[in-house]
Amino acid sequence: MALKVPIYMDYHATTPVDPEVLEAMLPYFREHFGNPSSRTHVFGWTAEAAVEKAREQLSTLIGCKPMEVVFTSGATESNNLAVKGIAWASRDRGNHIITTGIEHHAVLDTCRRLEKEGCDVTYLPVDRSGLVNPVQVEQAITDRTILVSVIAAHNEIGTIQPLAEIGRICKARGVPFHADAAQALGRISLRVDDVHANLLSFSAHKLYGPKGVGALYVRNARPAVKLIPLMDGGGQERGRRSGTQNVPGIIGFGKACEVASRVMAEEAERLTKLRERLKAGILQRIDGVYLNGHPERRLPGNLNLSFAGVDGEALLLSMKDVAVSSGSACTSTRMEPSYVLLALGVGGELASASIRFGLGRWSTEEEVDYTIEKLRERVGRLRAMSSGWPGTVERMANARQASA
């Protein structure tokens, strides 16, 4: 089979809808178009039953009760509901939030908004591989702490945080624990009791579901998590998220979870092998390349590399036949060093020359090999055009060693 270009290697930005997911969704655009809140006829009952089935499919994947799933428009809304909802509901007992400096902007910007409302936010540092130290989490907790929020698996560098350790600390101290799990769901095993989570944020389009739909897990065990909703209205989703549910999207999300539960283990093994093939091929053929993120504790399909002596924007533009990115899709219009890589201690020059490769369900060995060769060719061409390239590898290596 001939290789088709352009090649898609940006599966952390979004994923194509799985055929099984699309097939499950289609009837709910026309035949079963009812409003789940319509309780007086079969059209509404059919839609409601389908939404509840999807709720069960997601709850089965993460090991929670269906009633603990709140459907939203995506992980951004879920993060806002979790962080703001907790802060607004906890004003009488505290105003301190603990998070990290490498969170997605949906958490960081929400925390900054809350700081303007009087909240005190601690932004914990991470180590060179992007891991937060659970000991520092525990040390940061005070009697005014109302929430700890740590990203489960990082969208840029792929690092998987020690959620279980952090969750145990939070549980012992009686502090709600939230994780932005948009990149983790369907890619790695994530069970709410294993990580002791009180709140988890998800987005369907990261696991081969449709865009515009997500969910927030809210633990209902005693003591139940108390949230003040972002929106008031018809009281849908047990009053936590008013508004007519996106029935086709929710159906697709549920089906994507069902598919993930079947294929996740095998898919993770295959993507890890593909990722290692990509990494080895690049490192063997190109000098001055550095891995960003943890070498082992990372998402199966994630690879983030910095290329010394290359202008990052020029490299991305030269890779028109391979869809890759410099980091989060939400910040792709900002041609500046990644705040995540800077937080890891990566110098500005290298941080500006980083590429995130995201492998997924339909990635192949042929695509990986093609990408390796194209990178070798284009990095070499860009370096040949750069008068500052000679000596760059040695200079970068010395700088990284000094900062380690």
* Cα–Cα distance for residue pair 328/158, rounded to 1 Å: 11
Mean pLDDT of the chain: 94
pLDDT tens-digit map of 13-50: 999 999 999 999 999 999 999 999 999 999 999 999 99
Give per-residue pLDDT as tens, 133-152.
999 999 999 999 999 999 99
218's enclosing H/E stretch is: strand 214-218
- Distance of CA 38 to CAs 47, 52, 158, 236, Å? 9, 14, 42, 12
What pLDDT score does 274 carry? 98
Average pLDDT over residues 226-239: 94
* Helix/strand/coil for 107: helix
Final residue belonging to a domain, choices 194, 227, 260: 260
Instruction: Tell me how many domains the chain contains.
Output: 2
Q: Do 160 and 117 share a structural domain?
A: yes
What's residue 401's pLDDT?
60
Q: Does 225 share its domain with 359?
A: no
Provide the residue range defining the domain that includes 305: 7-13+264-403
CA distance 95 to 214: 27
Residue 336: per-residue pLDDT: 78
Task: Using the 3D structure, point to which of 214, 240, 260 is the last residue of a domain.
Answer: 260
pLDDT at 328 over 60: no
Q: What is the pLDDT of residues 146-202, one digit of tens each?
A: 999 999 999 999 999 999 999 999 999 999 999 999 999 999 999 999 999 999 999
Handedness of CA 123, 132, 359, 322 (dihedral sign): positive
Residue 1 lies in a domain: no
**Do 246 and 275 fall into the same domain?**
no
pLDDT band at 2 (very low <50, low <70, confident <90, very high): confident
- Domain identity same for 171 and 302: no
Which pair of structure tokens corresponds to residue 197?
Answer: 């989570």
pLDDT given for residue 40 in this prediction:
95
170 is catalytic: no
Shared domain for 99 and 126, answered yes or no, is yes
* φ and ψ at residue 228, rounded to 5 degrees: -95, 125
Same domain, 254 and 269: no
For residues 241 and 294, membership in a common domain is answered with no
Catalytic residue from among 119, 170, 257, 330? 330
User: Domain with 151 in it: what CATH number?
Assistant: 3.40.640.10
62 and 195 Cβ atoms separated by less than 8 Å: no
Mind listing the pLDDT tens digit for each residue in 353-388? 999 999 999 999 999 999 999 999 999 999 998 766
User: In which band, very low, low, confident or very high, does the pLDDT at 332 lie, cut at 50, 70 and 90?
Assistant: low
CATH number at residue 279: 3.90.1150.10
